[in-house]
Amino acid sequence: MKNNQKKQTKRLLDSIFQFANVILILLTLIGCGPSIEELELVDFTPLPGDDWKVSTPEEQGLDPMHLAELYRNAAELETLYGLLVVRNGYLIAEDYFNEGSVDQLALLQSASKSYISALVGIALDQGCLSSVEQKMMDFFPEFADQITDLRKKQITIRDMLQMRTGYPDEETDPAYLEALYWGEYPELIVDFPLVSDPGTMFNYSNLTYSWLAIILHRTCGTDLKSYAQEHLFQPMDTEVGDWLQDRDGHYIGSGGIHVTARDAAKFGWLFLDNGEYEGDQIVSADWVDDSLQTYSENARGYGMSLKFRDLGYGYGWWTARAGEHHFSFAWGHGGQLIVLLDDLDLVIVTTADPFFGQHNGDSWKHEKATINLVGEFIDSLPAE
């Protein structure tokens, strides 16, 4: 009897303890949430300028309190530089933090790959390239006699765009990563081994997009920056800052473009608006559609660490889910994001410390914080 009473008493105490914990958590959540008065003090009014039409969240059908909470949380991040929100073609929210400013030319890191993909589409429209089925090795004839893995001769432009060439993710091996930063890229077509058959598996290869950039240079009759300036940046009134180059002088396709957050938002809106900018068709609508598909599901498995779920990959653009929304996004190391929510006619841009050359736990911690900031905001938005 005494043992039974002890067991009953223990179960009762455990239940009381669990109930008290629930109450404590609820009280903590209630206490930690910002008040309406606090949110009303958050200023995210777009800065003066003639490069964007400006509106308010209310006029474009968004709850300003949602945005106020987003910007309040953004101000707590240590490495975030800029945060912009565009809806229906209007800039409705903008602010800069830490070292950021409206004029800052931010290093987009791997978000540059989305620009390279766009330039491939433009080159196809103009006839510089004839098809995404063209073979990569056709553009590097100087290495033809050095190729011992014949699978490399089957790699297509399409495989390169989709990151399905079979080349390895450079971050899987310190020697690969060192070679990436050394900057002698064409030779690595021969040197790097394939880890899967072309066209069968997603592997995040930075070199693949740098080789795409070299292909554009070799086929379009001018250096890549000049080509991009004439056919992409200038038509969008975009200022391009530094564009990193490899040791041979090729403009790097994997992550070297510097633009302002406002100009990054223009590029996002270009793709959300089916390739049009102020009535001009800059990128074909078909290419936009092809680019934003999901060709590789479960492209990167980050488990429960990211608010972006079900990561996939298209042509230089990632795809994901948050809450009830499926979206595409350009993604660069450190927290450079250009997010396209087609169902809401919404573009979200973040720029942040690029952590150039740093691939460690600290850089990932800050990058993840920026991604989750945006993911939580998207999750809070109702579906339409």
Residue-level pLDDT at 304: 58
**pTM, rounded to two decimals:** 0.90
Q: How far apart are CA 14 and CA 18, in angstroms?
A: 6
List the beta bridge partners of residue 313.
296, 318
Q: Are 128 and 278 in contact (CB under 8 A)?
A: no
**Could you read off the pLDDT of 32-64 as tens digits, one per residue?**
567 887 887 889 999 998 899 999 999 999 999
CATH superfamily of 106-380: DD-peptidase/beta-lactamase superfamily (3.40.710.10)
Residue type, 346: L
Residue-level pLDDT at 303: 58
Residue-level pLDDT at 17: 39
Residue type, 122: I
**Could you read off the pLDDT of 139-158 as tens digits, one per residue?**
999 999 999 999 999 999 99
Q: Which residues of the chain have pLDDT under 50?
A: 1-2, 6, 10, 13-14, 16-18, 20-31
Residue-level pLDDT at 8: 57
- Closest alpha carbon to 121 in 312, 314, 252, 258: 314
Residue-level pLDDT at 32: 57
Tokens matching residue 247? 């040791």
Q: How far apart are CA 95 and CA 84, in angstroms?
A: 7
Q: Report domain extents, the chain.
A: 106-380
What is the C-alpha radius of gyration for the chain, rounded to an integer number of angstroms? 24
Q: How far apart are CA 217 and CA 219, in angstroms?
A: 6
Q: Are 353 and 108 in contact (CB under 8 A)?
A: no
Residue-level pLDDT at 28: 40
Half-sphere exposure of 108 toward its Cβ, with a 13 Å CA cutoff?
Answer: 33
